[in-house]
Amino acid sequence: MKRSNLFIWIGISLTIGIILGWILNNRQPKFNLSTNEGKIYEIIKYLEENYVDSVSYKQLEDLSIEKLLSSLDPHSTYLTKEDIIVSTDPVLGEFEGIGIQFRMVKDTVTIIYVIPYGPASRKGLKAGDKIIEVNGNPIAGQKIKDIEIVKMLKGPKGTKVKLGIKREGYDEILHYELTRDVIPLFTIDAAFLINPQTGYIRINSFSSNTAEEFKSALKDLKNQYQIKNLIIDLRDNGGGVLESAVEIANIFLPKGALIVYIEGQHRPRKDFYAWGDTLGNDLNVAVLVNQFTASASEIVAGALQDNDRATIIGRRTFGKGLVQEQIMLKDSTALRITVARYYTPSGRCIQRPYDEGYEKYFLDYYESILDTTSLHSLIKNIDTVKYYTVNGRVVYGNGGIMPDTIVIKDYDVPILSYSKILNSQTFFDQLADFVQNNRQELLKLYPNEDDFAKQYKISDQQMKTLLGDSYYHIGTQYKNTFAKIITSYIAREIYSPAAYIKVSYPIDKCIQTALEILKASGK
């Protein structure tokens, strides 16, 4: 036999041997898919018992559910027990705990805000305090996840937790025993007079308490200052409770005006109408939105725009218009399932299209955030279908709310420079150190946020300390703007979210545009 033929036969023999060996040694097991459990159960069970690596039934079950839901739409989701803990409190508008907000700074839990009248406030805890121990167990430098810290600090009303606190100016650890209580979550970040005729209210989310908070803030502005104009800031507001959004829109609409409607394959159309609340009837209104404005926020913006009741200013909103219902499962996890869509009064579907898949859906969104150098990203998704407001103005749909007046970016600085410098962990670490080291001195010089907003000027040296080498890359023409933005961050850390706005609004292009439009209205 020729040598070449010999190699061919050896190859064939080896191939046949491999195939026969596989068949003999790997006879297919009986894989019965006809049981009442269904084939998903059978497949997971088989993988758990036969897969090459170690996998648990629960791990595979959770993964299957997540993949299944993500294939339906971008917002149907599976919630673990931890997810439910995090997501439920903001909706309810309250939680049971000690009443602090914290940030992990260099592996140490640092209190950044103490909620007034809560257990932590009553015991004298302060912003800047570092939590070193919880119930005698050290937590500093342990690289514990935020969710685990939350679990340690939260708990049923009446239960106790012991904290070890490291405070500036004290060598020893201070020990506190706190009794947990019901803590309200406030969704109104700021409400103040921005000029002699104009009030400003910023809503960070929509909880069950938001409408009452908003009404209280608006009444105060009207009673104290007799305002004629109102700026409602919904930028970065990811939404929340539908009923609260409907109630806030109702404040500005005549009785019988359509606010929103929902409809789905298995859910008949349901309309939500204004029932007549005269609190905001006499006000000229501007609403600020951006790419992070979503869900319930879009309902408010869409309702006021379609009813010709407000000027919408900013950038196209996110386009999250899916109605979800939450179904609890036996193991205390949950499914949040899309059952209908939101539509504005003119018939526009708020939801952005997602028929090209999950990844494309979010990729388009992130590209729109980065592309703020032109109007292209803001208008490219306008479809050709026209919708009409109650006064006959043309508006377009295809997802999100397109503003009446487009403002490409909030601050006159390059968006990539802003993100790279001020959204970096390095900057926030330096900011935390700066605030920690200068808090008491600044509070002595500027006892309240209004004094700080009017008088504080950040020095070049302080900017260099906070920005490090990035200071030399901000550009001379943008130096004053960056100084103002950084000052607003300091104000927020020391005083409140409202202080951030009070410092930054003179350079905030959305707010300044709103003020110009309201002034031009002559009201």
Q: Where are the beta strands (DSSP E) in 58-207?
A: 77-79, 94-97, 100-105, 108-114, 130-134, 137-138, 160-166, 174-179, 181-184, 188-195, 198-203
Q: Which of 306, 364, 410, 508 is catalytic?
A: 306
Q: Which of 166, 320, 484, 502 is catalytic?
A: 320
Nearest in space to 435 (alpha carbons), one of 120, 129, 170: 129
Rounded distance between C-alpha atoms, residue 399 and residue 316, angstroms: 9
Q: Give catalytic status of residue 433 as yes or no.
A: no
Q: Give catalytic status of residue 295 as yes or no.
A: yes
Q: Which of 205, 295, 368, 488 is catalytic?
A: 295
If one counts every other C-beta atom within 10 angstroms of the C-beta of residue 329, the result is 11
Q: Give catalytic status of residue 207 as yes or no.
A: no
Rounded distance between C-alpha atoms, residue 41 and residue 64, angstroms: 10
Rounded distance between C-alpha atoms, residue 413 and residue 398, angstroms: 30
CA 194 to chain CA centroid, Å, is: 25
Rounded distance between C-alpha atoms, residue 368 and residue 13, angstroms: 60
Nearest in space to 322 (alpha carbons), one of 336, 298, 342: 342
Rounded distance between C-alpha atoms, residue 323 and residue 349, angstroms: 12
Nearest in space to 153 (alpha carbons), one of 172, 125, 128, 174: 125
Rounded distance between C-alpha atoms, residue 48 and residue 45, angstroms: 5
- Catalytic center residues: 295, 306, 320
